[in-house]
Amino acid sequence: MKDKTVKRAIYVLFLYLSFVSVVKGQTGINGIPYYIDIKKNYKNIETVNLSRIGKELSYLSLETSPQCLIQEIDKILFSKSFIFVNDTRNRLLQFDKNGKFIRQIGSQGRGPAEYLYVYDFCINEYTNEIYIFCLDKMLVFSFEGENIDTIKLSFRIADVIILDNTSLMFHLPNVPGPKYFATYSWIITDMQGNPKHKYKNHFMRVGNVGASKTPIYIFDGYARFMEYGVDTLYYFKDTRKNPYALFSYGDLKKDPDPFIIPSNAEKNEEQKDKILIWTITENEEFLFIKFSTDRWDKQVYAIYSKKTGKTTFLKDGVFKNDLDGGGEFWPKQIIDDKVLVDYVDAFTLLKNEVPKALKNKLTESSNPVLMILK
């Protein structure tokens, strides 16, 4: 009788753990927390209201003046007191938390403290420093705009994040060509760019199309990252990469190493409807996934619920704004794992039912407006 009771208890515990795994979207396979079936849910296209992912929407207009006219926001980061904007990868602009322009950080040029392009940047709130990356050069500035250092890196970068107050994590472009580019996918360095750990690419690209963009972000204190063309999203902990989410494409997956042949138009056309993950952002409830395609007029966006395990593709690639009737929304960045941020040009926003107080501040040529969802 005692053995039967123990067995029954074990069975009940097993059922409970299985239920929890399903609720969390877990696979229970190889310890990977999330299994995301893209192929199965690809036709699950819905209009999703903004109120599903947040309750309070506010707007922040960035000051417009000749010194800070923004063509297009490539990336934006927030500190406690400042907002930093990468304008079309050409320059880095600094605003205060109310959107008032303060200064341009650094300047374009070929000098020791200058950059040709802002390939990426990150901010270090431990030291109040800004890191600007241009090919294989890292420029360090203070929050007051003073150039502190210019460091030559031993590799070229595509993306970078700050792991902690002692380490940077770089993603390197995986492109055909010299071994210099293709050997490593990820490099962990100290704050001076000296490598501490290197992680090789899963495959070496030999086609005639390069690839540099791939998901890399911080969530819950740990880096999440994904190598281009690989179906696993990893997280980095204790110098090890650990599987975090597995994506199943089926026959939807775009060739990660295509060889485009001008004379083979039919084969090239087939690839245009294939998809690959481009960016991921994440909060406690959802993964927000943007896919790349070869069709400029086709946007593919999806959300994955970590609670239900359901994947939903968004109609028109945006959340419908049912909170105030203003601009449609897609979280391009997430602050502190909670606050979702999108940015929209003033011309587009003025066509929507935005608050009157905001409309009175804008013209069609005003700088982009930040949409902040909590």
- Indicate whether 9 pLDDT > 70: no
Between CA 249 and CA 95 the distance in angstroms is 41
**The dihedral sign for the CA sequence 291, 347, 96, 150:** positive
Average pLDDT, the chain: 86
Over residues 14-60, the pLDDT tens digits come to 433 443 443 344 443 567 899 999 999 999 999 999 999 999 999 99
Looking up tokens 């994955």, which residue turns up? 304
| Token pair for 273 | 């409807």
Least confident of 82-96, 138-152, 247-261, 326-340: 247-261
- Indicate whether 229 pLDDT > 70: yes
| Cβ neighbour number for residue 300 with a 10 Å cutoff | 22
- Indicate whether 177 pLDDT > 90: no
Please give the average per-residue pLDDT across 129-141, as a whole number. Answer: 95
In degrees and rounded to multiples of 5, residue 154 shows phi and psi of -90, 10
- Indicate whether 267 pLDDT > 50: yes
Residue 272: per-residue pLDDT: 77
- Indicate whether 350 pLDDT > 80: yes
| Token pair for 46 | 């819905």
Q: Are 295 and 307 in contact (CB under 8 A)?
A: no
Over residues 274-311, the pLDDT tens digits come to 899 999 999 999 999 999 887 766 779 999 999 999 99
- Indicate whether 122 pLDDT > 60: yes
Between CA 218 and CA 248 the distance in angstroms is 23
- Indicate whether 181 pLDDT > 70: no
Q: For the chain, give every domain's residue range.
A: 32-373
| Token pair for 33 | 């927390």
- Indicate whether 340 pLDDT > 70: yes
Q: Are 343 and 70 in contact (CB under 8 A)?
A: no
3-state secondary structure of 264: coil
Query: What residue type is 101 in one-letter code?
Result: F
* Percent of the chain at pLDDT exceeding 90: 64
**Confidence category of residue 101, pLDDT binned at 50, 70, 90:** very high
**Confidence category of residue 360, pLDDT binned at 50, 70, 90:** confident
Class of domain 32-373: mainly beta
